[in-house]
């Protein structure tokens, strides 16, 4: 046998900490060629001093030849490294069973060392393909896949179970992911991440969650999310028993944005230039929670004196009574949310609904959340829907309204005072029949939603900004080509979209969602023009 120091040196090179492994005095290493790989092969022995049979505890055991095992190690000095291990085999004369010692450097029946598996597991955390890793370490792709499954077995998702409450959101992932945003969902109770889906678009998420059993999906009672319209569509189609819960952050964000738009509108209507400048300059203070405003006085150039942030807000509210009224409602909502007082939140909404609120749900079937449930809570809510969009009856001008009994009675009186025969019998029957085949209706709408999301993804890859849509059309804008020019070029190539030369939307095109074939032609024409 070779000296202990040399043996330890070889073990250090290979990171072997098994005392039962030794090396021969000579020819303990050779270099061979396997295809495109140069491999340094170390020759070693694995022995163990068994005192008894591990099967029957008999001490009547003897040596019974040996077997060889090749184990791959981490590359060293630009060589792929393998250990050719000769393992002593034993036999029990009483139970007739054979056995041999195990080693800590690799699992039984595995030809890959634990250290190499760990190294591969680290590389799998990076944006590196399985093929690249397999070539690097002279392994098969299936071997790398098994290592990944083995190392991350704790993260495998149980497709037969989902918690009652889940939270969903998206995050910016790697650049080469379709859509650039990945989807993440977690267990609300444990706060543990359940899984991450590379693509947050509706068609990808629908395909992913369809792999879960119906029992698992029906177990979900609440889904906490933002107001991203494809998520609403996903919940409706995949989680039929789940209720949508909007998280506080996005509610605050929405309220915040609404109040700021009101501030801008009031500011633009003011003739006093000095007041207008102050409303523009101190907009951040107006958006803060009033009790949190700083009360320390500092010199302010705009006012030519010392005053606090609270003083500035008080001054602006005193000069703008309309702004003050909206500010008070805004602060009440923020307070209710801040202190988790959602009963107070509903009271605020209810107390400010002093007029008839008409909710137009012409496009609600394409992925939006209906306000129909509000009519049982509030007597001043009227929801109107149409047969023109999702039910393809634009020509007959047919629709309906949902509200409390008193509102519907008032509408009937108003209707009958003008013309009680606004629609013919055929239109009425057509509308009734359209409700009977609900399966076809939902299937068709789901297809439109799927095509819309697929088209949106392709447009984003072409450099378009695509606004979130819960309708059968999308608004798109390109960073390099002005909408009016693109509209003309598409028209010359036989593709009709809509263009509106109005403020805020004059650089957008409205694109109606057609069949997959039609949208494919649309994308091809765009690719030719860009």
379-415 tens-digit pLDDT:
777 889 888 888 888 877 888 899 888 888 888 887 7
Closest CA to 252 of 119, 345, 186: 345
pLDDT recorded at residue 355? 64
Q: pLDDT band at residue 473, thresholds of 50, 70 and 90? A: very high
Could you tell me if residue 274 is inside a domain?
A: yes
Q: pLDDT band at residue 455, thresholds of 50, 70 and 90? A: very high
Could you tell me if residue 194 is inside a domain?
A: yes
Closest CA to 216 of 156, 159, 154: 159
Residue 459 CB: number of other CB atoms within 10 A? 20
My answer on whether 500 and 419 are in the same domain is no
The residue from 203, 228, 246 where one domain ends is 246
pLDDT recorded at residue 344? 59
| DSSP H stretches of helix in 1-84 | 4-14
Could you tell me if residue 116 is inside a domain?
A: no
pLDDT recorded at residue 218? 92
My answer on whether 304 and 270 are in the same domain is yes
Could you tell me if residue 397 is inside a domain?
A: yes
My answer on whether 430 and 465 are in the same domain is no
pLDDT recorded at residue 39? 87
Q: pLDDT band at residue 227, thresholds of 50, 70 and 90? A: confident
Between CA 206 and CA 183 the distance in angstroms is 12
Could you tell me if residue 160 is inside a domain?
A: no
Q: Which of 10-24, 394-408, 486-500 has the lowest mean pLDDT?
A: 10-24
pTM of the complete model: 0.40
My answer on whether 11 and 106 are in the same domain is yes
Q: What is the pLDDT of residues 292-351, one digit of tens each?
A: 888 888 898 889 899 888 899 999 999 998 898 888 888 887 777 666 555 554 565 466
Q: What is the mean pLDDT of residues 21-35?
A: 79
- In the chain, pLDDT over 90 holds for what percent of residues? 13
| DSSP H stretches of helix in 417-475 | 425-436, 438-461
Report which listed range, 33-37, 130-134, 170-174, is most confident: 130-134
My answer on whether 272 and 345 are in the same domain is yes
Between CA 405 and CA 15 the distance in angstroms is 81
Q: What mean pLDDT value characterizes the chain?
A: 83
pLDDT recorded at residue 439? 80
My answer on whether 390 and 465 are in the same domain is no
- Number of independent structural domains in the chain: 6
Q: pLDDT band at residue 68, thresholds of 50, 70 and 90? A: confident
What CATH number does residue 396 fall under? 3.40.640.10
My answer on whether 104 and 10 are in the same domain is yes
My answer on whether 205 and 226 are in the same domain is yes
Look at residue 1 and tell me whether its pLDDT is greater than 50. Answer: no
Could you tell me if residue 498 is inside a domain?
A: yes
Look at residue 483 and tell me whether its pLDDT is greater than 80. Answer: yes
Q: In what order do the strands lie in the sheet with 473-478?
A: 464-466, 473-478, 509-512, 498-499
The domain containing residue 233 runs over which residues?
165-246
């Amino acid at each position: 046998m070779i000296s202990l120091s040399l043996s330890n040196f070889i073990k250090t090179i290979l990171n072997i900490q098994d005392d039962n492994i030794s090396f021969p005095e000579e020819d303990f290493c050779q270099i061979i060629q396997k295809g495109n790989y140069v491999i340094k092969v170390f020759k070693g022995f694995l022995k163990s001093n068994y005192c008894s049979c591990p099967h029957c505890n008999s001490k009547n055991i003897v040596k019974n030849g040996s077997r060889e095992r090749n184990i791959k190690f981490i590359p060293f000095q630009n060589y792929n490294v393998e250990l050719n291990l000769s393992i002593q085999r034993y036999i029990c004369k009483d139970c007739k069973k054979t056995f041999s010692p195990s080693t800590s450097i690799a699992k039984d029946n595995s030809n890959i060392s634990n250290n190499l598996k760990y190294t591969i597991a680290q590389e799998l955390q990076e944006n590196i393909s399985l093929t690249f890793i397999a070539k690097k370490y002279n392994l098969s792709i299936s071997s790398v896949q098994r290592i990944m499954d083995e190392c991350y077995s704790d993260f495998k998702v149980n497709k037969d179970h989902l918690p009652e409450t889940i939270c969903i959101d998206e995050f910016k992932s790697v650049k080469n992911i379709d859509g650039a945003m990945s989807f993440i969902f977690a267990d609300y109770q444990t706060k543990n991440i359940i899984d991450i889906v590379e693509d947050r678009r509706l068609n990808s998420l629908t395909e992913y969650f369809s792999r879960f059993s119906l029992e698992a999906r029906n177990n979900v009672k609440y889904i906490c999310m933002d107001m991203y319209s494809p998520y609403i569509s996903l919940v409706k189609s995949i989680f039929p028993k789940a209720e949508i819960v909007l998280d506080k952050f996005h509610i605050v964000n929405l309220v915040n944005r609404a109040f700021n738009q009101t501030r801008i509108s009031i500011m633009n209507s003011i003739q006093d230039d000095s007041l207008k400048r102050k409303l523009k300059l101190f907009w951040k203070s107006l958006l803060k929670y009033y009790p949190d405003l700083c009360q320390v006085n500092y010199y302010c150039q705009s006012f030519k004196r010392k005053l606090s942030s609270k003083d500035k807000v008080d001054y602006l509210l005193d000069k703008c009574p309309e702004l003050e009224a909206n500010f008070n409602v805004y602060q009440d909502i923020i307070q209710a949310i801040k202190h988790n007082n959602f009963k107070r939140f509903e009271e605020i909404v209810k107390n400010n609904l002093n007029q008839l609120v008409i909710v137009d749900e012409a496009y609600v079937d394409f992925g939006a959340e209906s306000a129909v449930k509000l009519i049982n809570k509030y007597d001043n809510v009227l929801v109107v829907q149409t047969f023109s969009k999702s039910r393809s009856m634009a020509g007959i001008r047919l629709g309906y309204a949902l509200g409390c009994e008193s509102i519907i009675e008032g509408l009937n009186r108003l209707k009958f005072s003008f013309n009680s025969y606004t629609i013919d019998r055929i239109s009425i029957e057509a509308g009734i029949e359209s409700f009977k085949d609900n399966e076809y209706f939902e299937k068709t709408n789901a297809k439109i939603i799927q095509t819309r999301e697929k088209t949106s993804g392709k447009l984003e890859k072409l450099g378009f900004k695509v606004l979130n849509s819960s309708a059968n059309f999308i608004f798109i804008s390109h960073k390099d080509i002005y909408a009016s020019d693109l509209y003309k070029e598409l028209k010359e190539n036989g593709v009709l979209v809509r263009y509106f030369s109005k403020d805020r939307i004059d650089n957008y095109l409205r694109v109606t969602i057609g069949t997959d074939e039609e949208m494919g032609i649309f994308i091809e024409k765009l690719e030719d023009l860009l």
